[in-house]
Chain A
Amino acid sequence: MTVRNKKPILVIGGGISGITAAVEIAEVGHEVILIEKEAYLGGHVVKMNNYFPKLCPPACGLEINFQRIRQNTRIEVMVSTELVALSGERGDFKASLRTTPLYVKNTCTACRKCVDVCPEVRPDDFNYGFGSTKAIYLPHDMAFPMKYSIDDRYCKKESCNKCVEICEYEAIDLFAKEEMKEVEVSAVILATGWENYNAGLLDKLHYNEFKNVVTNVEFERLLAPGGPGKGSLLRPSDQKEPKDIVFVQCAGSRDENHLPYCSAVCCPASLKHALTCQERYPGSKIRIFYIDLRVTGRNEDFLKRVEENKNIELVKGKVASIEEIPDSKNLRIEAENTMKSKKIRVETELVVLATGIVPNQPAIEMKTNQYNFMSGEQKSGVYAIACGKKPMDVSSSVKDATAAALKTIQTIR
C-alpha cells in the first residue's frame, strides 16, 4: 500500500490506553506523537499495586510497553505536555501543544545527587500526599522517562541553585520556560482518562475528616512496594498495620446524588484488595459491603476465591454512615444488611471507599453525554477512547485503544 499522507497520529494521554494506542499504531509502521500531562507515562495504572485477577504488578506490562517505545523510532513522547487547541479535519489536523517548563533536561542520568542537596520538600502527589519528596524528585521508582522533575511550586529556583551546582550533566535549567508547539497530524486519539470521584462529597462517610477513611486508589499506594509503607500496609492515623478492614462498594456510585452509573471496576478492585491483604496478612478480617457484586466473565473465578476465604465476609448492604472513635481512631460503620433486612454496626480499623470513575475533560470542546463521558467518534479522525468514553477496566481499555488505533490508521491512505 502506498503511503501518501505521512502526517503522524497524535495520542493525547500517556496512561495505559494512550500508550497502547501509540505502540500499536507505531508497530503497524506509522509515526506517532504521544503526549502526557504528567512528567511520566503510565497514568493511573503505574500507581496501582496490582491487577485483578492475576494479582500481578502493572509494572510488568508497562515495562514491555516502555521497551516497545524505547525500541521504536516512530514514537515521539512528549511529557508535561497538554493539548490546548485542535483544528482541521480528517487527515489534516493542526494541534497546539503546551509543554510546562522542563527544568530537568534529557541529559539527566537519574544519578540522584540533586536530591541529596535539595533543601525543599513537597507532598508526594504520586502517593496522594502520603509522605513527601524533595522539590526535585523522581516521580516514582520505575519512571519513564527515567529522569527527575522539579515542582516549581516548591523550588526556590536560582536563589537556591544547589541542584544546578551539583549536577555533573548540566541537566538542570531553572530558567526553563513554557513551550508551545504546533503539530500537523492526520488523526487524534483522546486517551485522557479519568479521576476517581471526590470522596469528600460523600457527607456521611467523612473522608476529609477521618484519617483512616481512604479511597480505593489511595489504598493501591498504601499497599504498593513504592508506597508510603514501602510495601507494608500502614493505616494513616498511627502507621500501624490494620487487622480489620471494611470496603464500602458503590461509594458515591449508582447514586442519583453522586454518580448515577456503575464504574464497572470497583467490585473486582475491592476483591483484589481483599485477596492481596489476605496474602500479606493472613487472618486479617475483611468485610465488603456491596449492592451487587459485578465481576463479569472469567473474573467469576476470582469472586470464588474471595467467597472461599473464611476471613473475607461479603455483606449485601449499603453503608449509611461512618463515625470515628476518638481515642483509637477506629471507625464505626452503620450499614443495612439487606440479606437479613436489619441494620448492622461494625467497628473497623480502616475503611476503603470504592469510589467510581469520573472522565477527564480535554481542553478542547467535546461531544459528551450527561455524565461528561465523551462520544467515541468525536468527528471523523478524532476518537475518544477508554475511560474518557465509559468506565472500563484495564483489559477493556487496552482493547478499545487497539480498536481506535485501527480507526486512526484508516485516515492514512
Chain B
Amino acid sequence: MVLDKKIGIYICSGCGIGNCLDVTKLSQAASTENTLICKIHKALCSPEGFEIIKKDIEKEQLSGICVAACSPREKTELFNFRDHIQVERINIRELAAWIGEPGEENTQVAAEDYLRMGITKLKTTSIPEPYIEDEICNDILVVGGGVSGVTAAIEGAKAGYTICLIEKENDLGGWANKLYKQIPFKAPYDQLKEPLVTELIAEAENNKFIRIYKSTAILQIDGHPGRFEIAIKHVKTEKIVVGAIVAAMGWKPYNAKALSQLGYGTSDKVLTNLEFETLIKGNPKQRLPGTILFIQCAGSRDKDHLPYCSSYCCGTSLKQTKYIRESNPDSSVYIVYKDIRTPGMYEEFYKEVQRDDRVFFTKGDVEKVETQSEKLKVIIKNTLLGDDISIMADMIILATGMTPATTADLNLSYRLGKGLPELKYEFSDSHFICFPYETRRTGIYAAGALRAPMDISACIEDAGGAMLKAIQCIEATKRGEAVHPRAGDKSYPVLFMDRCTDCKRCTEECPFGMYDETEKGTPLPNPARCRRCGICMGSCPERVISFADFSINSVSAMIKSVSMPDEFEEKLRVLAFVCENDAYPALEMAARKGLKWSPFIRIIPVRCIGSINKVWISDALSCGYDGILQIGCKPGDDYQCHYIQGSELTQKRGENLQETLQTMMLEPERIKTVFVEITDYHKIPVIFEEYMNEIEAIGPNPFKSM
C-alpha cells in the first residue's frame, strides 16, 4: 500500500444525494481514512464544482481523488484526468441514494461503506503504466491470395502499411480466378461481368508495398501483436516479421461424393457448380445439352451434410443459367430450390433470369436422381402442387456449398492450438453480430469465407474491415493499449512468479491465448495478446496475477473495509460482484427507474465475473459477509459474455467454490451466481430480494462472531 498518496475526497449532494444521505456525516467518515481534503458540493459536475477539484489538484498537488457522486458511466469525460491523476468514482447516487430510503440509517451506512471501499481502492491501486513492446513491426501478413486476401492487401497498402501476402498455390485469385463470369453487383444487374479478381491481382502485383509469396506455406507463427515471427517455406525456409495478421485462407467446396443420391459419381452428367464453371471457362462457346437442371442446396441446409446456407449458391446458379441460355437458345433450364435467396439488390438479377420463359423454377426437395438410358430422371417431392413430380434432364448441376479452409495451417505456436478457435461449423468467428471481426487470437483477424459463407462481393467488403482491425491492433500495441472490448486500457497482468506453482490454470483458462508455457508449465505471458479481462487473475489459486488498477490485494482490502454488523444486530451483509459490462448498467437502470433494493448489499464491479478470485470469496466469508452474489453475462451457445468464456468458467469454478464452503463448514447457498442481460433491470431488485430471503432463511454467517 502506498501511504504517501495525497488524496482529496469530493462528495456531491446533487441529484437527490443530499436529500437521502447526510453528506456531512459521510464526510466525517472520510476524514477517518487518512485523506488530505474532504469537500462537499451541490453539483460536482457543474463548472463551479469541477473548478474546486481542479484548483485543489494544483494547489495541494493531489495524487488521487475520489468523486463520491454518480455512476462512473456518467460524466466520464469530465472526471477523466487521464494519466495525470488517479480518479476513483464512488457511486453513492445509484448504489445508495437512489435505491435506499431517505434518512434511513442503513442507507447512510451503505454510502459510508462505498466511500471507504473507494478510498481503499484508490490507496491500493495505481495508474497503469502501459506495457510497450520493443521493436514493434508495422508490416502486416495476409494469409491467402484469394479475393479476400488480395483485397485486404491492397487496402492495407493504400493505408501506408507494407503487406506480406502469402498464397499456397502458384497463382493469386483463389476460386474467384476460376470463374468464367461474375454476377453483377452494381446496377444495372442484367449483364454478367468479367471477374473482378483479375484487376485486383494486377493491382496487388504492381503495388510495391505488397510483397507476394506464392507457393508458400507457413511453418510456424510465433509472437504477439506488434511482433509476430513467421517461418515460411517457399523455395527455402525464410523468416518474416509482422505486427498483425489477416487470415483469409478461404474455403473448399463441399465434398460432392457424399451426394450419390443426387447422381454424383454415378453419372458423368452430374456436375457440381464449380465443375460446370470450369467446363464453361474452358470453352465458353460450347454447345450444351438441351435440358439442364440445377439442384439447389445440394448438401446444404441439410442435417446430414451442411446444416447451414452457403449464401452464394442461389446467385451462382442464376448466373450459370445465363451461361446456358446464352450458349444455346433452344435450351431449357430447371432450377429446383427450397427458397431462392437473392437478398438486397440481387433480387434484380433474379428478376432478370425469371424474365426468360425457358427457365423454370420449381420449389421442392429432390428425392433422387435415376439414370434412364441417356437421360437423368429427377424425382421431386414437396412441390408447390403437392404432388411428386419428375423431370427428365440431360445434365444436372449440383449447387454445392462451401466449407471453411482449415486455420490449423497458420501453425500458431500457441499453447491453445495451431489454428483460430472455431465457433460453429468450423468457421472461425467470435461475436458475430455487434463485433464481427473480434477474435480470440489478438492481432489475427479472419476475413472472407473463413469466417462465414459469403460470395465475392461480400468477401471484398469483409476484407477491408479485417485489415482495419489489423492496423488498429498494431497502433494500439504501439501505445501499449488493449484492443476491443477494453480499448484504450493501459493496464496489463503482472505476475509475481515467486509464488507460481506451475498449475497451468491461467494458461488453460485465458480465452485469448495470452499465455504460452514452458515444458514445466510455467506461464509465459504475452501482454500484447492480453484483452485485460482478468480471467487469469480469477483463475490463479496462488494470487500471482494482478493489474495496477485491479488487483487481488486491492479487492480484498475493499471487501475488508466494509463495516460489519456484529452477530446481535440482525443486519445481514451480502457482497455482490457485478460484471461492469451488462449487469452494472442494468443495476443503474434499475436505480434510475426508482426501483429499490436492500441497503445490506455491497457492490463491487468487476471486469468480468471470470476475474473473481477465490480468495475474495474466502476473505469475504471469513470477515463475516453472510452471502456472496456473482452477477454476470449469459454463458452458453448464445453467450453474451464479453470475454466469451468468463461466465462459463465461473460456472465451472463454482464446484471448486463449493469445496471451499464445505471446508469452512458453510452452506452452499452462501455463494450464488446469476446471469442477466443488460435490459433485465426490472429483475435486479427481484434477484436481490430473493437472495436476501435465502440468506435470511439459513441465518447469519457463523464467522461473524469470530
Contacts and interface: CB of A to CB of B under 8 A. Distances in A.
A262 B344 contact: yes
Contact of A297 (B161, B454, B682): B454
B476 A27 contact: yes
A224 B679 CA distance: 9
A364 interface: no
B14 A168 contact: yes
Contacts of B76: 70-71
A396 B155 CA distance: 19
A28 B472 contact: yes
A259 B206 CA distance: 42
Interface string A149-187: 000000000000000000011100000000000000000
Nearest to A109: B15
A310 interface: no
Interface in A254-296: 254, 260-264, 292-296
A64 interface: yes
Interface string B464-484: 110111011001100100011
B678 A298 contact: no
Given A27-B488, A60-B677, A260-B351, A341 B427 contact: no
Contacts of B638: 53-56
Contacts of A29: 475, 479
A260 to B, nearest CB: 7
Contacts of A304: 307
A57 B14 contact: no
A27 B487 contact: yes
A107 interface: yes
A339 B386 contact: yes
A324 interface: no
A59 B679 contact: yes
Contact of B344 (A261, A292, A299): A261
B113 interface: no
A109 B432 contact: no
Interface in B166-212: 186-187
Interface string A230-272: 0100000000000000000000001000001111100000000
A89 interface: no
Interface in B279-323: 301, 307-311
Interface stretch (B434-442, B511-519, B619-627): B434-442
A111 B19 CA distance: 13
A297 B308 contact: yes
B137 interface: no
B241 interface: no
Contacts of A341: 384-386
Interface of B: 14-16, 42-43, 45-47, 70, 73-77, 80, 82, 138, 155-156, 158-161, 186-187, 301, 307-311, 339-348, 351, 363, 384-386, 424-425, 427, 432-437, 452-454, 458, 461-465, 467-469, 471-472, 475-476, 479, 483-485, 487-488, 581-582, 585, 589, 592-593, 633-634, 638, 640, 642, 677-679, 681-682
Given A64-B435, A296-B309, A399-B437, 13 more contacts: A60-B633, A61-B434, A73-B80, A111-B14, A141-B592, A142-B585, A224-B679, A297-B309, A298-B425, A339-B363, A402-B464, A403-B461, A405-B465
Interface of A: 1, 16, 23-24, 27-29, 51, 53-61, 63-65, 67-68, 70-73, 107, 109-111, 141-142, 146, 168-170, 224-226, 231, 254, 260-264, 292-301, 304, 316, 338-341, 369-370, 373, 375, 390-392, 394-396, 398-407, 409-410, 413
